[in-house]
Structure 1
């Protein structure tokens, strides 16, 4: 049987009771985190062009959109909500596959769940299955997709979102396999936004969710897709990693027995995951040694080759980010903000903030050194060396970034992050009700309470009509 056939059997044949309790809990927490990220993005008026584009199309549907009074068809709602979920780069990531997992699967699941009238338990099961597919297809590639200029969230996420949508649409195994085959022709997402700080990256999980829902609908109406879409010579890996020989056994090893949602990392900072461990390492030194901007002569960041590509080179661009989104992919900028202002949060990455001369003065003092923290690509480790103006040298590193499976945030930490994020766009009583619904979703008969998302507003103003504070920073330890 082909890989897509085996994945289709998993999607169709898994009973909700087969999910371990830990996986069900993790799926609920990732759903909560994803909604919080989307609400914070709406509150800060992120990706307004995506929201406005869909709001003005004059169509309506059953699926809720964050900040839009009227619903949209499921595919359109998934596009908007997926872009919002990823807009702040605050959403979860699986380290081994480097996929932002939930930003595609959760919007697809909520949109299709509302479209089909599914229960909360059915939706959570579909999210967990979609997470499995995204992560398992990303693991054989690891950093290789990034090295070739592809964004794993877009190119792998479309398959995960397809699994989620197929499950909720009631597709059978053959229809699901065909939907995977169709989704392969919709996989996309380039990393070229790093060249000038363009804001194309948030589109990737939104488009993956949008494409996935359409792939499923096409398959339900008789469209076919290649059975060898994953392993074929002109299939996913053959096309995207031509010339390499990834070990595809990891896609199906332990399928249905070992659940990978539990490995997906939460983000404590709204920036690229390769920023996190070096930033926490720096924070520990600054706090313990009581250092300020005037004490810093030079800072050296430690990261691996992929980290250099994403957050340290070209050095001149990273030292002075060109856009707020560009700043999310800059260790020098994050270091500068932490040293100059004592914290890094959603307000750090705004058009107003990136020109701060105090931040840029520190950023200009940042260098880097290559170090390897994980031979398997299972975490985003990193560290730092600080040289002071009086000649003292301090060094610190985290083998595993905070928020990952080896250095986890607690459920209380994740809930606090959600509350802070959601409060940017919703009143506190609605935030509490939404959290209670999501955390109790396994017992919910439907997704009706999600309608509160439509009432979310841009900070200081109203959300889009149907016509048309930062999250907490838990203290790091050395």
Structure 2
């Protein structure tokens, strides 16, 4: 190594980009504890089940039609054959895995990291003829870096209107792409700098239920392929992608940047595994609503409410989630579409109290037009939860005041599915089968499950081939 190379190497090591590159490129399959590898396989399985369920929805068909019109290729699309190029396949698979807002969340990072990490790994592991072990290791590298980068902001991105899943997902995906495309340390630093100019994801969809949120993780994965490929061929990007004067946190957090803790980007990297902190969703709605939903369902099962007997409902929520799931109040009380409903404390709590459940069926047009539920949603109000432990837990408490004056309440201090109250692997398989069997036969769903959980013992192309087999025709779901 000559003097110039040594200086570049030292500089790269001193930046966050350099340290993340060292980790992602140096991570060996054997470095990952078996319990982490097992959980990683189950996180992949969860995302794949959601992707199959999404195939029946209008947003999935519109996205596929648009991407096919842009050009053909041979990369795998879940349930859709090998009809797109790698970057467009990554977009499509991200839309499918994130489209129902039923995918996993890293609580401290407030990020759906799997749905950018997985589409990237699937596209490039297939393209580079990687082994299943290489696929899994690249996925873990992406997850460990994206989650930490999200945690740096301490929930600040949501407060200024950015969606961390797209904004941050591009960086973890770029590190996985660097690994799968064979970049060296310096090239990986450049790739992260290039990704800085590709990062984005607006929360404006919250105002009218637009589909753009569904696009964010796949766009991050697609951009990562572009960034890493440019860097591989010598394209120069800024070195201080994260800590620079106009780096990620300064540019996107604005006044909130002073609260960011840059040390969290590399804290215990390779020693503590953030995959173990990832929460699996037990219900198909924004993770911020889960504790309140479960509290409402618990009250319903204990009391079997008549809507007319309820005078008012107060829901205690963390201050940090109000902008996302409580405002604007008019949209939340009368959701115009499934996305409005999934991000609505009033609708979800009213449904939980009256129906004792919240499933994908509660996102159908008939359910969202239920007059009894909508009437109760008008009587649901939120209040800041002073005892919240957000973002470690997405707390929720529901307090029901009856016309008789009786007050009933239930609190969920730790949201179900979180790291401190995780779903078991058996429960994750059950959720996968429920979702996958919406478009697959039970036999085929079980064969996919076996392939995913046996990924370490196969080639990445084996999984890509079984996932890309077309699904049966599905009806039109809005």
Which of 212, 227, 230 aligns to 2:239? It is: 227
- 1:248/1:49 Cα in 2 relative to 1: closer, same or farther (>3 Å)? same
Corresponding residue for residue 266 of structure 2:
252
Deviations 1:426-453 (A, max 9, x none): 1111100110111111111333233233
Query: Matched residues in 2 for 1:92 and 1:372: separation?
Result: 26
Secondary structure in structure 1 of the residue aligned to 2:179: helix
The offset of 1:220, in angstroms, is 0.9
Deviations 1:4-44 (A, max 9, x none): 00000001111110111221111111100111111111133
Corresponding residue for residue 346 of structure 1:
360
Corresponding residue for residue 182 of structure 1:
194
Query: Matched residues in 1 for 2:299 and 2:163: separation?
Result: 33
- 1:251/1:373 Cα in 2 relative to 1: closer, same or farther (>3 Å)? farther
The offset of 1:283, in angstroms, is 1.1
Is structure 2 residue 213 aligned with structure 1 residue 193?
Answer: no
Which of 14, 17, 22 aligns to 1:4? It is: 17
Query: Matched residues in 2 for 1:379 and 1:459: separation?
Result: 40
Corresponding residue for residue 4 of structure 2:
none
Question: Are 2:73 and 2:86, in contact at CA under 8 Å, matched by a contact in 1?
Answer: no
Corresponding residue for residue 137 of structure 1:
149
Corresponding residue for residue 368 of structure 1:
382
Query: Matched residues in 1 for 2:175 and 2:352: separation?
Result: 40
Corresponding residue for residue 398 of structure 1:
412
Give runs of aligned pairs for residues 408-447 of structure 1, distance below 5 A.
Answer: 408-447=422-461
Query: Matched residues in 1 for 2:37 and 2:450: separation?
Result: 15
Give runs of aligned pairs for residues 311-330 of structure 1, distance below 5 A.
Answer: 311-330=325-344
Deviations 1:118-169 (A, max 9, x none): 1111111111110011111111102211010011111111001111222111
Corresponding residue for residue 265 of structure 1:
279
The offset of 1:292, in angstroms, is 3.5
Give runs of aligned pairs for residues 293-312 of structure 1, distance below 5 A.
Answer: 293-312=307-326
Secondary structure in structure 1 of the residue aligned to 2:73: coil
Which of 464, 470, 473 aligns to 1:450? It is: 464
Corresponding residue for residue 105 of structure 2:
93
Query: Matched residues in 2 for 1:39 and 1:48: separation?
Result: 12
Corresponding residue for residue 14 of structure 1:
27
Query: Matched residues in 2 for 1:90 and 1:230: separation?
Result: 29
TM-score (norm 2): 0.93
Query: Matched residues in 2 for 1:458 and 1:372: separation?
Result: 49
Query: Matched residues in 2 for 1:70 and 1:18: separation?
Result: 33
- 1:241/1:58 Cα in 2 relative to 1: closer, same or farther (>3 Å)? closer
Which of 22, 25, 39 aligns to 1:26? It is: 39
Q: CA RMSD in A?
A: 1.7
TM-score (norm 1): 0.93
Structure with the higher fraction of residues in helix conformation: 2
Corresponding residue for residue 202 of structure 1:
214
Question: Are 2:293 and 2:348, in contact at CA under 8 Å, matched by a contact in 1?
Answer: yes
Query: Matched residues in 2 for 1:18 and 1:209: separation?
Result: 25
Query: Matched residues in 2 for 1:340 and 1:458: separation?
Result: 34
Query: Matched residues in 2 for 1:408 and 1:85: separation?
Result: 20
Question: Are 1:78 and 1:210, in contact at CA under 8 Å, matched by a contact in 2?
Answer: yes
Is structure 2 residue 223 aligned with structure 1 residue 236?
Answer: no
Question: Are 1:44 and 1:424, in contact at CA under 8 Å, matched by a contact in 2?
Answer: no
Query: Matched residues in 2 for 1:91 and 1:290: separation?
Result: 30
Unaligned runs of 5+ in 1: 463-468, 470-478
Q: How many residues align?
A: 462
Unaligned runs of 5+ in 2: 1-13
Which of 229, 234, 239 aligns to 1:217? It is: 229
Deviations 1:77-119 (A, max 9, x none): 1100001111110000111110011010011111111111111
Corresponding residue for residue 41 of structure 1:
54
Question: Are 1:78 and 1:206, in contact at CA under 8 Å, matched by a contact in 2?
Answer: yes
Query: Matched residues in 2 for 1:133 and 1:373: separation?
Result: 30
Question: Are 2:188 and 2:228, in contact at CA under 8 Å, matched by a contact in 1?
Answer: yes
The offset of 1:375, in angstroms, is 4.6
